[in-house]
C-alpha cells in the first residue's frame, strides 16, 4: 500500500515536471524568448504563479516573450547585483540598487540606440523623462512612469476634526499649520499621541531638499545657484526639527517614538504623514481606518533627478542583443497595453479585481488577500488602470493626465540639470558620515532630541570625519556639470 | 611467543586507527568546505569589488576587480568616535569573558551538588532556555518592561509616586542592562559544558575526600576546580579570539537602535552595519571582519602561549 502511494506520488511529480518542461520546450521550439525579471517586493504574493502564467500567455501571443518573474527584497537584489548573477531585467532606482552607480559601473545595458530603433513607441511615451536616465548622454535604464515628483501631505481624521470639532481641513497647509489640530486632540485625549511618528521617521520629511549623500549633504531646491550644503545649514530644516521637538515635549508624539516600529502605534492616531500625489485616494478608504480621512498637502511637488528615478528597470549588461531587444519589447508592452498591465498590477479579472463603470478598478477580497504588489515595482504605473477604494469612493480614471500637467504647472524643479555625484573617490568618508548621521537622525526626526543641543555635537563629529572634504568634491563636480550643461 | 601477540596488536590497532580516521572524514570535509574553501573571500578586503554581470564570482573577484591595498579599511578609522567604539567592544567582551567563566562555573558547581533530579532538571532548563530565544524577541520583552508610558517598571515607579524614567533616552542605565542580559542569555549554555566536565570527574575522589573530613569548600577547591582547569582555559582562549566581535543582536536589536544610547551601545559590528546599511559594499565589510579576525587570531596565539607557560596541559596547541 505504502509503495503504491509513493509510486503514485512520484508519477504525479514526474508528470508535473514534464508538463512544465513541455511548455518550456514548446516555447523554445516556437522561438519564444524567456526572460529572468527581478522585481522588488518585500513579500511574495500567494497567487503570483497564477498571474505570471496569465501574463505569459498574453505576452507570448503578443510579442513572443515570456518572463520568469521573481519578487525579491532589498538584500537579495543587492546580492544579485554584487555577485554578478545573470538576469535580464532588474528593478533599479535612486533608493535601492542605485541606478547611477550601476550605470556608471557599466552594469546595465546601454539602450540609447536600441530603444529608438526597436521600440519607438516606448521612446515616445517616456518622452522628457528619459533625461533622468541619461548618464554622460547615454541611457542605461527605462524610467517607470509614476508620480515623478514627491508631494508630502498630512492625513487627518476628518470625522473627528471636521465633524466633532468643527475645524476645517484645507487642501494645502504648511508644515507648522498642523499644530492647532494636534493641540485640540491632545486636549480631548491627554493620554494619547495625535501625531504618528515612529523610528522609521516621517515619510518624505527631507524631500524639500535635493539629496546628494543620504540625507546629510543636500542641495536646496529654492536657491538660485545650486550649492551643496550639510543639512545643518538649511534653516528651514532646522526650524522643522525644532518644531518636532516642541511637539514631542508637548506630548503630541509618542515618548518612545525613536524606539518603536510603526505597528506599535495606535490605529486611530488622527494625524499621519503621507507621500503621494494630488487625487490619490488610497489613504481615504474608511474601511481601512474606521473613520474618514482627508489629506492636506504641505510640501511639493519637488522634481529632481532623484525623484524621477523613483523606479526604473535596468537590463543586464551581460545580455546578448536578442534578450535586450526582447526586454525592451516587454517593457514597451507594459507601457502601452493597459489590459496586459492590469494583469500584473491587479491579477486576473473576475477573480482578483473587477472593472467599475467609470473605468477604474476595484479589487475583490481574493485580490486584496492573495495579490498585492507595489505597482511601481512592476513597470508603468500610469498605464495601469486607476484603483478605486470602494464602489462609493470612485477615483478619477484620468488622474495621471492631471498629475503630469500639474508637474508642468506648479512643480518645483531642481536647478542642477540632472547632476549625478560620482561617489567613488570619497566612498570611505561617505560610509563614516552615514554612520555618524544615523546616530542622530532618528532622534531628530522623531523630535526626541533638542536640535540646538544635538546638532552642534553632530556637526563637530561630521567635520572630524571629513564632511567638508566631501562637500568640496561634490561642489567641484557640480560646478563642472553646470558649466558643461549650460 | 613474544612476537605473536605484539604483531596481532599492531594489526588490530592499525585497523582501529583506520576506522577512527574514517570517522573524522565528515568533520574534515565540513571544515574544508565551510572554513577553508571560503578563505579566498579575504581578497575582497583588498580589492575594489566591481562585478561584471553574468561572469563567475571568482573571475569577477580576481580578474575584474583592481587591487586597492588597505584603502577599504580607512572608513573604519574615519569616524572620530572609533576610540569609544573600540573601548565599548573591548569593555563588554572582557566583562563577558570574566563573568562568562565565574558565573557558569559557580552555577555548575552548585547545581552538581543538588541531587533531587526533578528540581535539578528544572533549574537547568530554566537557565539554558534564554540561549534559544532570539534577541529580537528579547528586545521586545525588554521594551515591555521599559516602555515610557506603559512599561512595567514605569508603572511601578508611578505607583510609588516616583518620577517616570525615559529608559531609551537614559544611557547611564544601559551598560548594566546590556551586561545583565548578555550574561542571562549565555550563562546557562556555558554552564552545561562545565557540568559535563564535573560529571566526568571520578566520584571516588569526592568520597575519599569526604571520609578524610574535607569540607564542601575544600572539595571544590582541591578536586573540582583543578579538574575544570582545562575546560576553563579552552573556553577562555576561544573567547579571546573573538574579542573584537560583538553580539549584534544584543547591541543593536535590544536597545532598539535608540540614538540617545549610542555612546554605550555602539560596538564595532554595529558601526560596520550602520556605515554599510545604505550601500552594500562587500569590500568594506570584509575589511572589517578581516580586521576583527586578525586581531582575534593574534590575541588567541598570545594567550595560548601565556597559558602554556603557566600550565602546558591546558593550552590548546
Q: How many CA atoms lie within 13 A of A144 on its CB side?
A: 25
Specify if A408 maps to a domain.
no
Picking from A351, A383, A415, the residue at the C-terminal end of a domain is A383
Question: Is there a single domain that holds both residue A432 and residue A343?
Answer: no
pLDDT digits (tens, 9 = 90+) for A141-153: 999 999 888 889 9
Specify if A195 maps to a domain.
yes
Q: Is the pLDDT of residue B76 over 70?
A: yes
Q: Do A428 and B74 touch (CB under 8 A)?
A: yes
Q: Which of A277, A297, A286 is nearest to A376 (CA)?
A: A277
Q: Which of residues 316-345 of A touch B (CB under 8 A)?
A: 316-319
Q: Which of A216-230, A233-247, B152-166 has the highest mean pLDDT?
A: A233-247
Give the number of domains in chain A: 3
Tell me if chain A has a CB within 8 Å of the CB of B68: no
Cα A9 from Cα A15, distance rounded (Å): 10
Question: Is there a single domain that holds both residue A396 and residue A451?
Answer: yes
- What DSSP state is assigned to residue B73? G
Specify if A409 maps to a domain.
no
Secondary structure (3-state) at B244: coil
Q: Do B78 and A465 touch (CB under 8 A)?
A: yes
Q: Is the pLDDT of residue A208 over 50?
A: yes
User: A304: which 3 cell numbers?
Assistant: 529632481
Q: Do B53 and A256 touch (CB under 8 A)?
A: no
For A105, which residue in chain B has the nearest alpha carbon?
A: B50
CB-based contacts of A288, cutoff 8 Å, min separation 6: A389
Q: Which of residues 199-228 of B touch A (CB under 8 A)?
A: none
Nearest CB neighbour to B53, from listed A214, A316, A438: A316
Using pLDDT thresholds of 50, 70 and 90, give the confidence band for residue A327: very high
CB contacts of A85 in chain B (<8 Å) are 53-54
Task: Compute the average pLDDT of residues B75-97.
Answer: 89
pLDDT digits (tens, 9 = 90+) for A398-423: 888 888 888 888 888 888 888 888 88
pLDDT digits (tens, 9 = 90+) for B163-197: 888 898 889 999 999 999 999 999 999 999 999 99
Task: Compute the average pLDDT of residues A369-389.
Answer: 89
Distance of CA A177 to the CA centre of its chain: 27
Q: Which of A376, A265, A329, A375 is nearest to A33 (CA)?
A: A329
Secondary structure (3-state) at B67: strand
Q: Which of residues 278-317 of A touch B (CB under 8 A)?
A: 316-317
Tell me if chain B has a CB within 8 Å of the CB of A87: yes
Question: Is there a single domain that holds both residue A162 and residue A242?
Answer: yes
Using pLDDT thresholds of 50, 70 and 90, give the confidence band for residue A181: very high
Work out the mean pLDDT of chain A and round it to a whole number: 88
Cα B192 from Cα B104, distance rounded (Å): 8
Question: Is there a single domain that holds both residue A233 and residue A359?
Answer: no
Q: Is the pLDDT of residue B104 over 80?
A: yes
Q: Is the pLDDT of residue A30 over 90?
A: no
Q: Do A259 and B52 touch (CB under 8 A)?
A: no
Task: Compute the average pLDDT of residues B141-166.
Answer: 88
pLDDT digits (tens, 9 = 90+) for B11-61: 777 777 888 888 899 999 999 999 898 888 888 899 888 777 777 778 888
Question: Is there a single domain that holds both residue A19 and residue A155?
Answer: no
Specify if A429 maps to a domain.
yes
In order, the DSSP letters of B245-305 are ---HIIIIITTTT-GGGHHHH--HHHHHHHHHSSS--HHHHHHHHHHHHHHHHHHHHHHHH
pLDDT digits (tens, 9 = 90+) for A51-77: 999 999 999 999 999 999 999 998 889
Tell me if chain A has a CB within 8 Å of the CB of B281: yes
User: A18: which 3 cell numbers?
Assistant: 514534464
CB contacts of A318 in chain B (<8 Å) are 52-55
Work out the mean pLDDT of chain B and round it to a whole number: 87
Evaluate whether A6 touches A334 at the Cβ level (below 8 Å). Answer: no
Tell me if chain A has a CB within 8 Å of the CB of B148: yes
> Regarding predicted confidence, which is higher, B311 or A184?
A184
Tell me if chain A has a CB within 8 Å of the CB of B155: no
CB-based contacts of A452, cutoff 8 Å, min separation 6: A242
pLDDT digits (tens, 9 = 90+) for A235-281: 999 999 999 999 999 999 998 888 887 666 677 889 999 888 887 87
pLDDT of A348 reads 93
Cα A446 from Cα A443, distance rounded (Å): 5
User: A79: which 3 cell numbers?
Assistant: 546580492
Q: Is the pLDDT of residue B276 over 80?
A: no
Specify if A25 maps to a domain.
yes
Range of the domain at A247: 149-309+389-402+423-486
> Regarding predicted confidence, which is higher, A312 or A104?
A312
pLDDT digits (tens, 9 = 90+) for A114-150: 999 999 999 999 988 998 999 888 999 999 999 888 8
Tell me if chain A has a CB within 8 Å of the CB of B84: no
> Regarding predicted confidence, which is higher, B71 or A91?
A91
Q: Do B74 and A449 touch (CB under 8 A)?
A: no
The whole-angstrom distance between A185's CA and the closest CA on chain B is: 18
Evaluate whether A274 touches A296 at the Cβ level (below 8 Å). Answer: no
Question: Is there a single domain that holds both residue A336 and residue A350?
Answer: yes
Cα A376 from Cα A48, distance rounded (Å): 16
Specify if A410 maps to a domain.
no
The whole-angstrom distance between A165's CA and the closest CA on chain B is: 27
CB pairs under 8 A between A and B: 130
Q: Which of A389, A158, A153 is nearest to A270 (CA)?
A: A158
Specify if A237 maps to a domain.
yes
Question: Is there a single domain that holds both residue A156 and residue A303?
Answer: yes
pLDDT of B2 reads 47
What CATH code is carried by the domain that includes residue A217?
Answer: 3.40.190.10
For B253, which residue in chain A has the nearest alpha carbon?
A: A259
Task: Compute the average pLDDT of residues A360-386.
Answer: 89
Question: Is there a single domain that holds both residue A84 and residue A227?
Answer: no
Q: What percent of chain A has pLDDT over 90?
A: 47
Q: Do B57 and A84 touch (CB under 8 A)?
A: yes
pLDDT digits (tens, 9 = 90+) for A444-486: 999 999 999 999 999 999 999 999 999 999 999 999 988 887 7
Question: Is there a single domain that holds both residue A197 and residue A269?
Answer: yes
Tell me if chain A has a CB within 8 Å of the CB of B58: no
Question: Is there a single domain that holds both residue A301 and residue A322?
Answer: no
Class of domain B79-314: mainly alpha
Q: Is the pLDDT of residue A318 over 90?
A: no
pLDDT of A149 reads 86
Tell me if chain A has a CB within 8 Å of the CB of B274: yes
Using pLDDT thresholds of 50, 70 and 90, give the confidence band for residue A22: low
Question: Is there a single domain that holds both residue A39 and residue A140?
Answer: yes
The whole-angstrom distance between A359's CA and the closest CA on chain B is: 41
Tell me if chain B has a CB within 8 Å of the CB of A436: yes
The whole-angstrom distance between B36's CA and the closest CA on chain A is: 20
Question: Is there a single domain that holds both residue A344 and residue A255?
Answer: no
pLDDT of A97 reads 87
pLDDT of B134 reads 93
CB contacts of A460 in chain B (<8 Å) are 80
Q: Do B75 and A258 touch (CB under 8 A)?
A: no
- The CA-atom distances, in angstroms, between A109 and each of A90, A337, B132 are 11, 24, 47
Amino acid at each position: 500500500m505504502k509503495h503504491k502511494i509513493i509510486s503514485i506520488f512520484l508519477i504525479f511529480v514526474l508528470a508535473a515536471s514534464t508538463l512544465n518542461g513541455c511548455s518550456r520546450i514548446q516555447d523554445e521550439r516556437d522561438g519564444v524568448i524567456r526572460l529572468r525579471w527581478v522585481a522588488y517586493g518585500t513579500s511574495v504574493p500567494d497567487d503570483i504563479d497564477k498571474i505570471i502564467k496569465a501574463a505569459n500567455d498574453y505576452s507570448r501571443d503578443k510579442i513572443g516573450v515570456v518572463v520568469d518573474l521573481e519578487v525579491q527584497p532589498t538584500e537579495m537584489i543587492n546580492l544579485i547585483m554584487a555577485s554578478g548573477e545573470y538576469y535580464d531585467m532588474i528593478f533599479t532606482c535612486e533608493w535601492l540598487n542605485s541606478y547611477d552607480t550601476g550605470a556608471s559601473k557599466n552594469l546595465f545595458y546601454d539602450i540609447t540606440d536600441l530603444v529608438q530603433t526597436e521600440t519607438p513607441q516606448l521612446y515616445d511615451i517616456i518622452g522628457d523623462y528619459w533625461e533622468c536616465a541619461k548618464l554622460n548622454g547615454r541611457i542605461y535604464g527605462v524610467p517607470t512612469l509614476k508620480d515623478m515628483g514627491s508631494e508630502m501631505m498630512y492625513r487627518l481624521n476628518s470625522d473627528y476634526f471636521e465633524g466633532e470639532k468643527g475645524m476645517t481641513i484645507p487642501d494645502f497647509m504648511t508644515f507648522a499649520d498642523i499644530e492647532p489640530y494636534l493641540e485640540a486632540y491632545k486636549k480631548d485625549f491627554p493620554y494619547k499621541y495625535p501625531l504618528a511618528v515612529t523610528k522609521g521617521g516621517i515619510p518624505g520629511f527631507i524631500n524639500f531638499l535635493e539629496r546628494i549623500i543620504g540625507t546629510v549633504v543636500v542641495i536646496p531646491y529654492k536657491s538660485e545657484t545650486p550649492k551643496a550644503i550639510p543639512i545643518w545649514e538649511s534653516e528651514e530644516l532646522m526650524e522643522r526639527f525644532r518644531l518636532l521637538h516642541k511637539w514631542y515635549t508637548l506630548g503630541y508624539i509618542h515618548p518612545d517614538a525613536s524606539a518603536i516600529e510603526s505597528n506599535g502605534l495606535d490605529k486611530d492616531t488622527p494625524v499621519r504623514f503621507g507621500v503621494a500625489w494630488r487625487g490619490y485616494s488610497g489613504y481615504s478608504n474608511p474601511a481601512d481606518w474606521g473613520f474618514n480621512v482627508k489629506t492636506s498637502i504641505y510640501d511639493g511637488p519637488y522634481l529632481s533627478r532623484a525623484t524621477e528615478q523613483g523606479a526604473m528597470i535596468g537590463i543586464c549588461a551581460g545580455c546578448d542583443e536578442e534578450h535586450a531587444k526582447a526586454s525592451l519589447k516587454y517593457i514597451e508592452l507594459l507601457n502601452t497595453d493597459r489590459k496586459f498591465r492590469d494583469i500584473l498590477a491587479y491579477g486576473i479579472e473576475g477573480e482578483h479585481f473587477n472593472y467599475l463603470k467609470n473605468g477604474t478598478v476595484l479589487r475583490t477580497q481574493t485580490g486584496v488577500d492573495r495579490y498585492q504588489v507595489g505597482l511601481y515595482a512592476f513597470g508603468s504605473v500610469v498605464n495601469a488602470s486607476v484603483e478605486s477604494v470602494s464602489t462609493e469612493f470612485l477615483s478619477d480614471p484620468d488622474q495621471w493626465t492631471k498629475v503630469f500637467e500639474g508637474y508642468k504647472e506648479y512643480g518645483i524643479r531642481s536647478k542642477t540639470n540632472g547632476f549625478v555625484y560620482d561617489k567613488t573617490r570619497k566612498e570611505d568618508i561617505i560610509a563614516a558620515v552615514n554612520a555618524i548621521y544615523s546616530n542622530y537622525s532618528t532622534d531628530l526626526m522623531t523630535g526626541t532630541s533638542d536640535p540646538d543641543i544635538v546638532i552642534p555635537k553632530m556637526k563637530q563629529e561630521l567635520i572630524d570625519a571629513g564632511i567638508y572634504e566631501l562637500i568640496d568634491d561634490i561642489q567641484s563636480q557640480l560646478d563642472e556639470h553646470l558649466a558643461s550643461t549650460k | 611467543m613474544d612476537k605473536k601477540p605484539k604483531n596481532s596488536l599492531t594489526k588490530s590497532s592499525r585497523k582501529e586507527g583506520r576506522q577512527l580516521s574514517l570517522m573524522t572524514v565528515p568533520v574534515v570535509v565540513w571544515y574544508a568546505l565551510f572554513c577553508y574553501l571560503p578563505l579566498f573571500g579575504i581578497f575582497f578586503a583588498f580589492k575594489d569589488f566591481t562585478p561584471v554581470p553574468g561572469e563567475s564570482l571568482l573571475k569577477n573577484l580576481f580578474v575584474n576587480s583592481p587591487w586597492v591595498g588597505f584603502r577599504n579599511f580607512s572608513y573604519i578609522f574615519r569616524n572620530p568616535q572609533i576610540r569609544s567604539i573600540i573601548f565599548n567592544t573591548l569593555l563588554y567582551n572582557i566583562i563577558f569573558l570574566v563573568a562568562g567563566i565565574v558565573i557558569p562555573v559557580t552555577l555548575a558547581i552548585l547545581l552538581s551538588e543538588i541531587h533531587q533530579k526533578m528540581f535539578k532538571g528544572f533549574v537547568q532548563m530554566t537557565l539554558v532556555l534564554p540561549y534559544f530565544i532570539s534577541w529580537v524577541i528579547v528586545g521586545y520583552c525588554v521594551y515591555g518592561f521599559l516602555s515610557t508610558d506603559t512599561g512595567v517598571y514605569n508603572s511601578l515607579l508611578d505607583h510609588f509616586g516616583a518620577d517616570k524614567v525615559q529608559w531609551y533616552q537614559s544611557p547611564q542605565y544601559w551598560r548594566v542592562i546590556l551586561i545583565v542580559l548578555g550574561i542571562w542569555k549565555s550563562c546557562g549554555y556555558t554552564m552545561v559544558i562545565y557540568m559535563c566536565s564535573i560529571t566526568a570527574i571520578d566520584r571516588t575522589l569526592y568520597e575519599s575526600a569526604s571520609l578524610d573530613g574535607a569540607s564542601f569548600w575544600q572539595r571544590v577547591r582541591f578536586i573540582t576546580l583543578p579538574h575544570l582547569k582545562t575546560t576553563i582555559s579552552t573556553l577562555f582562549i576561544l573567547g579571546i579570539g573573538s574579542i573584537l566581535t560583538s553580539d549584534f543582536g544584543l547591541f543593536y536589536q535590544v536597545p532598539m537602535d535608540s540614538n540617545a544610547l549610542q555612546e554605550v551601545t555602539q560596538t564595532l559590528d554595529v558601526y560596520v552595519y550602520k556605515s554599510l546599511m545604505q550601500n552594500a559594499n562587500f569590500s568594506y565589510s570584509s575589511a572589517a571582519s578581516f580586521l576583527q579576525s586578525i586581531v582575534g587570531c593574534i590575541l588567541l596565539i598570545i594567550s595560548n602561549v601565556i597559558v602554556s607557560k603557566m600550565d602546558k596541559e591546558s593550552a590548546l596547541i
